[in-house]
């Protein structure tokens, strides 16, 4: 039964992929795409950051695929290292100076990461960058405190809820509009924090998801017995 369902799903996905490739005009010149984005992004999406609008809105389905790839990579690495996990990560702890400095910097690094993905529709940066910054802060604590731990249950919940938020917002747009991630919220005023419709919501979800996944990868690698 499971094999039949898997074959059916693959057949459906394959049909749509083939249908898309058949109707795709390969070889035709496409001019003015970049110009269109520069001239219409703010008006159509409300995002002051054109790159963010392209990543989350115009090619948001592709971004969902990128997040999925990161999730699969983190899951695969965790599965490979699961049997090699141990309690001792580092043979020697850091000095008092390093520990004190790390404790002071850690909340600032996390705050910076949150700032980057919350303001992703206004300034350079976004969910991937902000999540990576947060994971860097956790790595700093791992390196400074030998017994610093993170809850994998909490990471799983954060990652799952973030991914569910991404997919749900996209499906709501599909139900209310014509495409996945169709913007169904007011665009607001460009350059305001509360603007660009669903784009900030998506980037916040991506920031939490990337931060949780990279933190999980670091924890799995540091717990591996060497």
Higher-pLDDT residue of 89, 76: 76
Over range 136-141, report the average pLDDT: 92
The pLDDT score that the predictor gives to residue 158 is 92
Tens of pLDDT, residue by residue over 5-49, are 878 888 887 887 788 778 777 666 667 777 888 888 888 888 888
Look at residue 208 and tell me if it is in a domain.
yes
Look at residue 12 and tell me if it is in a domain.
no
Look at residue 122 and tell me if it is in a domain.
yes
- CA torsion angle 155 160 162 164 (round to 10): -170
Look at residue 27 and tell me if it is in a domain.
no
Q: What is the DSSP string of the chain?
A: -HHHHHHHHHHHHHHHHHHHHHHS-TT----SHHHHHHHHHHHHH--S-HHHHIIIIITHHHHHHHHHHHHHHHHHHHHHHGGGB-S---SSPPPHHHHHHHHHHHHHHHHHHHHHHHTTTTSS--HHHHHHHHHHHHHHHHHH-TT----HHHHHHHHHHHHHHHHHHHHHHHHHSSSTT---S----TTSSS-STTHHHHHHHHHHHHHHHHHHHHHHHHTB--
Look at residue 167 and tell me if it is in a domain.
yes
Look at residue 8 and tell me if it is in a domain.
no
The pLDDT score that the predictor gives to residue 215 is 92
Look at residue 29 and tell me if it is in a domain.
no
Average pLDDT, the chain: 84
Q: State which residues form the domain around 166.
A: 48-222
Look at residue 37 and tell me if it is in a domain.
no
Name, in order, each residue with C-beta under 8 angstroms of 148's C-beta and a sequence gap of 6 or more. Answer: 141, 142
The pLDDT score that the predictor gives to residue 92 is 59
pLDDT band with cut points at 50, 70 and 90 for residue 75: confident
Q: What phi, psi does 124 have (nearest 5°)?
A: -60, 140
* Distance (Å, whole) CA 221 – CA 77: 8
Tens of pLDDT, residue by residue over 161-206, are 998 898 899 888 888 877 788 888 999 888 899 899 999 999 999 9
pLDDT band with cut points at 50, 70 and 90 for residue 88: very low
The pLDDT score that the predictor gives to residue 111 is 95
- How many domains in the chain? 1
Tens of pLDDT, residue by residue over 90-123, are 445 678 888 889 999 999 999 999 999 999 888 8
């Amino acid at each position: 039964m499971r094999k039949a369902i898997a074959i059916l799903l693959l057949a459906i996905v394959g049909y749509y992929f083939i249908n898309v490739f058949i109707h795709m005009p390969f070889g035709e010149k496409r001019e003015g795409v970049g110009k269109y984005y520069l001239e219409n992004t703010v008006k159509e999406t409300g995002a002051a950051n054109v790159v963010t609008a392209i990543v989350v809105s115009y090619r948001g389905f592709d971004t969902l695929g990128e997040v999925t790839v990161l999730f699969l990579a983190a899951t695969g690495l965790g599965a490979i290292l699961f049997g090699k996990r141990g309690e001792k990560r580092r043979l020697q702890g850091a000095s008092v100076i390093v520990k004190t400095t790390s404790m002071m910097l850690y909340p600032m690094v996390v705050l910076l990461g949150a700032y980057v993905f919350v303001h992703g529709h206004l300034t350079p940066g976004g969910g991937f960058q902000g999540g990576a910054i947060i994971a860097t802060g956790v790595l700093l604590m791992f390196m400074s405190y030998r017994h610093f731990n993170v809850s994998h249950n909490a990471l799983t919940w954060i990652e799952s809820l973030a991914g569910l938020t991404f997919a749900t917002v996209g499906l709501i747009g599909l139900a209310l509009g014509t495409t996945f991630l169709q913007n169904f919220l007011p665009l607001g005023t460009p350059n305001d924090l509360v603007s660009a419709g669903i784009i900030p919501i998506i980037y916040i979800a991506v920031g939490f998801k990337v931060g949780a996944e990279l933190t999980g990868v670091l924890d799995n690698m540091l717990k591996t017995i060497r």
